[in-house]
Structure 1
Amino acid sequence: MQTIRYEKQDNIGIITINRPEALNALNSAVFDELEPLVGEIERDATLGALIITGEGRSFVAGADIGEQCPMDLDAGRKWARRGSSVFRRLEKLEIPTIAAVNGFALGGGCELALACDIILASEKAKFGQPEVGLGIIPGFSGTQRLPRRVGIGKAKELIFSGKMIKADEAKAIGLVNEVCAPEALMDAALEMARSFTKNAPIAVKYAKACIDRGMQMDLDDGIALENEMFAMCYATEDQKEGMTAFLEKRSATFHNK
């Protein structure tokens, strides 16, 4: 791959967007490589968590304006649908996902971070949806995910103004989970990922499914979903191992079964 690096550390995958000369701006080449990689990750039963970050001083500084400028109505529609589709597949991964935002997360970069379960930010990170200043709106689901993350009023303020905010303000409004020193960002992301992967993999996947699906339901349907997935845990070997280990006062060894 030319625009993306992918590596695994034990059962943790790490995607690095690698166009530092363009501040990792998203273009067709990035999606040509990212889309099949997401498919590979979907099929990898050994993975317990995924981290996404950027090379150099930027996470992703938006989508490539040079590629977008000549687009017409039909091309714009296809571009939005493509980016939204890939980000939705990332969002729907069964495993937890962490965006380690090392610098600019603007436009499509902010939307990429929003497609992850958790956002960790360097003190140097900056977030924004500046699209209205270019005569467009967020096209990779930013108008849908940002208000779900930070509330309708704050999302409207950020999108209507197109302003950029620093990491500390992003944390204060609930966009970011944690702010780290730049040199500590990836260690913090890996530490958090390991805190997820040490637990029963099926239980973590079920918990993510309950939260994500339940947030789209009314409360009673969400509770019913949780009840059913709770019961499904009792059909797993990991549940027996986890509870037996607790009673025997030892560490559990989970096998994702």
Structure 2
Amino acid sequence: MTDSYVTLDRRGDTAVVTIDNPPVNALHPDVADAIAAAAQKVEDDTSFRSMILTGRGRCFVAGGDIRYFTSIDRAGAARMALRVQAMQERLFSLRVPVIAVLNGHALGGGCELMLSCDIVIASSAATIGMTEVSLGLIPGAGGTQMLFTALPAGTAKRMLFTGDRISGTEAHELGLVDAVHEPEAVLDEALAVCDRINQAGPLAVEAAKRSANHRLRHSLDEGHRREVEIFSALFDTDDHREGITAFIDRRTPQYRRQ
């Protein structure tokens, strides 16, 4: 799949979605719609078991489209934010795990987009920040909410209130990203993680994502109840029976997502 703003390439069982909106991959709402459309293709094609979201060039996403900001009013700003939020919800709830590969800078809307993914692997050359206050704004696509699931409250507020940019290494130390690698290696490292995901039971991975995401939005007690429902339902699947049989037979399981 190729669109004016994104490309979707297959790497084995992994979909690699690349944002391509030069010069800095600014997150215009049409770009958000293109990302959502690519994610929907991954959702519908059950041969995909994982997805990578990355950018072309020196930026992952350097923020919202500032020129577009000059053309909208309050109502337009709300519509724009809702379109971006809808795309990010598509990634958050996608059937398969989504790995954000920060090939470069993830600022403002790029940081929000990163937070909507399941795993974040960053280039050592990347900088990350919630920079909206420098424009007299705040994040509008969930940044003031999602940042608190990733960082202690004081650290999250410092980033929001100052607009400071931090390096990929510092973001890793804070727990904001999951790994940092040299720029030339970052995509291959993400593909290696995807390979391990792709070797696991596909229905189990999908179930693990649903259960984990449920916990992010509900209480611990509710999360425990939902986990039991999802866990027990897997006992009706051929994937579960194949995984158990392969373990007993000491062979590699041959999953068919059934």
The verdict on a shared fold, with TM-score over 0.5 as the criterion, is yes
Q: Does 1:4 align with 2:33?
A: no
- The Cα offsets for residues 150-172 of structure 1, whole Å up to 9 and x where unpaired, read as 12221111010001000111001
Q: Which TM-score applies when normalising by structure 1? A: 0.97
* Residue 155 (structure 1) aligns with: 156
CA distance in 2 between partners of 1:125 and 1:147 (Å): 21
- The Cα offsets for residues 8-27 of structure 1, whole Å up to 9 and x where unpaired, read as 11210011111232x11111
Structure 1 residue 28: deviation in Å? Answer: 3.4
* Residue 59 (structure 2) aligns with: 58
Instruction: Judge conservation of contact 1:20–1:57 (CA < 8 Å) in 2.
Output: no
How many residues are paired up? 256
* Residue 42 (structure 2) aligns with: 41
Q: Does 1:117 align with 2:118?
A: yes
- The Cα offsets for residues 197-241 of structure 1, whole Å up to 9 and x where unpaired, read as 100000011111111102222222211111111111110001111
CA distance in 2 between partners of 1:71 and 1:132 (Å): 18
- State how 1:88-99 maps to structure 2 within 5 Å: 88-99=89-100
CA distance in 1 between partners of 2:99 and 2:43 (Å): 16
Structure 1 residue 88: deviation in Å? Answer: 0.9
Structure 1 residue 256: deviation in Å? Answer: 0.5
Instruction: Judge conservation of contact 1:26–1:64 (CA < 8 Å) in 2.
Output: yes
Instruction: Judge conservation of contact 1:147–1:155 (CA < 8 Å) in 2.
Output: yes
CA distance in 2 between partners of 1:219 and 1:245 (Å): 33
Letter paired with 2:9: E
- The Cα offsets for residues 169-209 of structure 1, whole Å up to 9 and x where unpaired, read as 10011111000011110100100011111000000111111
- State how 1:173-252 maps to structure 2 within 5 Å: 173-252=174-253
Q: Does 1:105 align with 2:134?
A: no
* Residue 15 (structure 1) aligns with: 17
Moved beyond 3 Å, runs of 4+: none
- The Cα offsets for residues 48-73 of structure 1, whole Å up to 9 and x where unpaired, read as 00000110111110011011123211
CA distance in 1 between partners of 2:175 and 2:33 (Å): 32
CA distance in 2 between partners of 1:147 and 1:220 (Å): 20
* Residue 128 (structure 2) aligns with: 127
Q: Percent identity?
A: 38
CA distance in 2 between partners of 1:227 and 1:137 (Å): 39
Deviates more, 1:176-185 or 1:62-71: 62-71
CA distance in 2 between partners of 1:130 and 1:42 (Å): 32
* Residue 87 (structure 1) aligns with: 88
Letter paired with 1:154: T
* Residue 68 (structure 2) aligns with: 67
Identify if the C-alpha distance between structure 1 residues 32 and 96 changes in structure 2 by more than 3 Å, giving closer, same or farther: closer
CA distance in 1 between partners of 2:222 and 2:38 (Å): 34
Letter paired with 2:117: C
Q: Which runs of 5+ in 1 are unaligned?
A: none
